[in-house]
A = this chain, B = another copy of it.
Amino acid sequence: MEYVFSDRVKALKPSAIREIFKYAAMPEYISLSAGNPAPEAFPKEAIEKISKELMSENPILALQYGQTEGYIPLRNELKKYLKETHNIGNDYDELIITSGAQQIADLLSKSLINEGDTVICEAPSFIGCLNTFRSYNAKLCGIPMETDGMNTELLEEALKREKNIRFIYTIPNFQNPSGITMSLEKRKKVYELAKKYGVMILEDNPYGDLRYSGEALPSIKSFDDCGLVMYAGSFSKVISPGMRVGYACGPKDVIQKMVVCKQGQDVHSNMWAQVVCYKFMTEYDFDAHLAYLREVYTKKQQLLLSLMEKHLKPYITWDPFEGGLFAWCHLPEGVDMRDFCNKAVERKVCVVPGTAFLTDENDPCDAFRINFSTPTDEQLQKGITVLGELIRDILKK
């Protein structure tokens, strides 16, 4: 049997990082390539208790069909939470619960993108969403990142130049993979440009609560006075990714189309997980939990920084990062990045080659991504030591 695939899927290449993840899953390898929360970051006892109560007191709520838009108490709680803590949400906005924030990228793409339309992305950016946009045959236009967010002059040039731009995709806080946080000035500038050119913004904020130093900045959505921004939030990094619960707050008209698409995609998200998230937000001290997470990850970030100072400097440098789960490391001139990553795998340490995060994987790239949330302190110590030995060995030759 010969299978004929759709044009959109024919164009999808198997991910360049799949091979590395294969090694990363083997116990004898040290994986600095994942993006998983630390196991100690899950509020296990609380979820165990909530789940037990739910399944004994109201199992039908968890087991029966639910509404496509999401569990109403969770939707209402999130609307309140977003308004109070982030000044997000207007009369013309609505909120949908999704199966992880990944589904927001999919539903928005499905609702807005015709084949060949353009999506403007930060370069580098989160590979998961880039692949979602690619799966709708979008043309990706990458805007280079600077230390305070994307280059807004190049953004305006792109807004003038590109045809049928459907939205600008940005992760303003501790971006994946670069760790960069967009400055307040640039947040305002990006919103202003989007408004000027009538282009929507998909603001993805999975790591916003994981800030370890510096001051919190307002979201782009908080400036939104005309229904231009779709804000994507997620419980994956603050409660649990295995639950697959995300939420989008954006203009009603667009959310309504996303609801129709979700109806045909998975009908609704897992009910147990939605109720657990709701009860965790309302019956537990969510702020205290977030403070605990910051404590856990600040320690890991500090350990990573001290290890990089000791073993990688001065050959390998990194962009400053005030939160999130990743460090973005640059190799010295003349060192081939892919070769470095392959050699690291040979020494049983996995990092992600930076090219994986580019809109065009063939563009030059001197960087690789290190994750510090998943490995244990011992693994982090061993892994960074090996990377330090490797760069010295390469430069010696």
By a beta-carbon cutoff of 8 Å, the part of chain A in contact with chain B is 1-9, 12, 14, 34, 36-37, 39, 42, 44, 47-48, 51-52, 55-56, 59-66, 98-100, 102-103, 105-106, 110-115, 117, 128, 131-132, 135, 166, 198, 200, 226-228, 240-244, 251, 253-254, 257, 260-261, 263-273
Contact = CB atoms under 8 A, between A and B. Distances in A.
A346 B244 CA distance: 40
Contacts of A8: 110, 114
A140 B397 CA distance: 64
Contacts of A114: 6-8
A272 B242 contact: yes
A107 to B, nearest CB: 9
A102 B270 contact: no
Contacts of A271: 242-243
Contacts of A61: 242
Given A6-B114, A42-B63, A244-B269, 16 more contacts: A1-B226, A3-B200, A5-B257, A7-B114, A36-B64, A47-B63, A61-B242, A65-B242, A98-B266, A99-B270, A128-B264, A135-B260, A241-B267, A242-B271, A242-B272, A272-B272
Kindly name the residue among A55, A113, A228, A241 whose own CB sees the greatest number of chain B CB atoms within 10 A. A55
A267 B253 contact: no
A137 B34 CA distance: 36
B111 A6 contact: yes
A102 B106 CA distance: 16
Contacts of A263: 128, 131
Given A63-B42, A242-B272, A270-B243, A261 B5 contact: no
Nearest to A36: B65
A132 B242 contact: no
Contact of A99 (B113, B266, B272): B266
Contact of A270 (B112, B166, B261, B272): B272
Contact of A261 (B135, B227, B242): B135
Contact of A9 (B6, B117, B261): B261
5 contacts: A61-B242, A99-B99, A110-B135, A242-B271, A270-B272
Nearest to A44: B59
Q: How many copies does the complex hold?
A: 2
Contacts of A98: 266
A114 B10 CA distance: 11
Kindly name the residue among A37, A114, A117 whose own CB sees the greatest number of chain B CB atoms within 10 A. A114
B273 A241 contact: no
A297 B103 CA distance: 35
A345 to B, nearest CB: 20
Nearest to A253: B3
Nearest to A64: B242
A9 B228 contact: no
Contacts of A198: 1-2
A377 to B, nearest CB: 18
Contacts of A100: 266-267
Contacts of A268: 244
A42 B135 CA distance: 37
A251 B1 contact: yes
A238 B115 CA distance: 39
B251 A3 contact: yes
A108 to B, nearest CB: 10
B265 A265 contact: yes
B242 A110 contact: no
A227 B2 CA distance: 9
